[in-house]
Amino acid sequence: MKKIVLYFMLAFCFVLKATAQDDLLGDLAKEDSLKVKQNIATATFKSTRIINLQSVEMTGKGNLQFMISHRFGYLWKEGKGWTNVAQLFGLNSGFANTYLSFDYSFTDWLNTGFAATGNAQFETWAKFKLLKQQTGKKNIPVSVSWFSLMHWDASEGPSPDDLAWNRLSFMHQILIARKFSENFSLELIPSYVHYNYVPYGPNNTNNIFSLGIGGRMKLSHKTAITFEYTHQLNGYKNLIDETASAVNYKPDVLSLGYDWDTGGHIFQFFISSASTASNISQLSTNMNSFNKLGNYSIGFNLNRSYGIKKVVQTH
């Protein structure tokens, strides 16, 4: 009889313990469900560039990205007639600009890079992630990045006394983007370009400002349409170049692109009224009027990322 009572008491204690554990787990689950979830916007853009201009995106921490950006000749040169057809609308014209770059992300908020932009021109830069678009306990309506670039013209100078310091120019941009839905994103891009040296003459300036806008419309899981428009705000009329000739630049750049994510690479095919490879020349010394079809050229960006450092996820 004593054994029966003992077994009964043990069974009763076990049921009480199990019930208490169930109640505790239930309370924890309820408490967890009441917590506000933090939703951070991802893939606002698929690439680190929209087309020509930088996007708010950067490669993942510990990743090295290699990018080739190539621009062919003009679609249709005035006065060339059917020669333009023979040159395959710029694809076989013998004129091209190629941009080769490497960039690496040391952290989730810092990316640095180096590029050869053609014609003995080089660039180095840093991109900082300042804000991430998110909702939940913390609401931030936009993603914001800061981009700073230094450009060095290493081509042969007009004289042996040409100082290296005079060959430097700089660009600073604040990138403000919002992902409005899974299919549509927009970015605003105020830019500031500074030249250490400009030829002396009326209206020449060391400091040039521009304002750009870019967007992405997702077509499918792998493809999207992109666009860019930038307007130069000063420094483009009645200038004097190094040969003392008057020059007028065209302050608007218009571009339309198509993104294709293959899984291993990101291809970006585009048509643009900027034929140069560097953002500094695109935003300050563009020579092509966007309202003439012949001033456009076809190009592509090819991006490939490599995992250099293994990143350990912590929870």
143-150 average pLDDT score: 98
Give the pLDDT band of residue 79 (cuts 50, 70, 90).
Answer: low
Domains in the chain, number: 1
Q: The pTM is what?
A: 0.83
> Is pLDDT at 167 greater than 50 in this prediction?
yes
Residue 268 CB neighbour total at 10 angstroms: 23
Give the pLDDT band of residue 81 (cuts 50, 70, 90).
Answer: low
3, part of any domain: no
* Per-residue pLDDT at 245: 87
Contact yes or no for 297/275 (Cβ under 8 A): yes
Residue with the bigger pLDDT between 139 and 74: it is 139
> Is pLDDT at 12 greater than 50 in this prediction?
no
> Is pLDDT at 68 greater than 90 in this prediction?
yes
2-16 average pLDDT score: 47
Kindly write down the DSSP assignment for every residue of 60-117, as one continuous string.
Answer: PTTEEEEEEEEEEEES--TT-TTHHHHTTTTTTSS--EEEEEEEEESSSSEEEEEEE-
* Per-residue pLDDT at 51: 96
20, part of any domain: no
166, part of any domain: yes
Greatest mean pLDDT range, 9-18, 152-161, 243-252 = 243-252
| Calpha distance 34→26 (Å, rounded) | 12
Residue with tokens 């680190």: 48
Of 3-12, 78-87, 267-276, the range with the lowest mean pLDDT is 3-12
Contact yes or no for 273/290 (Cβ under 8 A): yes
> Is pLDDT at 60 greater than 80 in this prediction?
yes
Pairing of strands 239-240, 297-307: unpaired
> Is pLDDT at 311 greater than 80 in this prediction?
no
| Calpha distance 197→195 (Å, rounded) | 5
> Is pLDDT at 195 greater than 70 in this prediction?
yes
- Six-digit token string for 266: 């990101």
Mean pLDDT of the chain: 84
32, part of any domain: no
Give the pLDDT band of residue 190 (cuts 50, 70, 90).
Answer: very high
Of 11-15, 28-32, 76-80, the range with the lowest mean pLDDT is 11-15
Residue 172 belongs to domain with CATH number = 2.40.160.40
Residue with the bigger pLDDT between 1 and 261: it is 261
302, part of any domain: yes
* Per-residue pLDDT at 27: 54
246-274 average pLDDT score: 92
Kindly write down the DSSP assignment for every residue of the chain, as one continuous string.
Answer: -HHHHHHHHHHHHHHHHHHHHHHHHHHHHHHHHHSPPPEE---SSSSSBSSSSB-S--PPTTEEEEEEEEEEEES--TT-TTHHHHTTTTTTSS--EEEEEEEEESSSSEEEEEEE-SSSEEEEEEEEEEE--EESSS-B--EEEEEEEEEEE-SPPSSTT--GGGGEEEEEEEEEEEE-SSSEEEEEEEEEEEES---SSTT--SEEEEEEEEEEEE-SSSEEEEEEEEEE-SS-SSEE-TTS-EE----EEEEEEEEEE-SS-EEEEEEES--SS-HHHHHH-----TT-GGG-EEEEEEEEEEE-SPPPP--
% of the chain surpassing 70 pLDDT: 78
106, part of any domain: yes
Of 99-103, 240-244, 256-260, 309-313, the range with the lowest mean pLDDT is 309-313
| Calpha distance 46→179 (Å, rounded) | 12
* Per-residue pLDDT at 84: 64
Q: Which residues contact 243 (CB under 8 A, 6 or more apart)?
A: none
| Calpha distance 219→3 (Å, rounded) | 74
| Calpha distance 278→54 (Å, rounded) | 11
* Per-residue pLDDT at 20: 46
Residue with the bigger pLDDT between 311 and 180: it is 180
- Domain range for 202: 56-307
187, part of any domain: yes
26, part of any domain: no
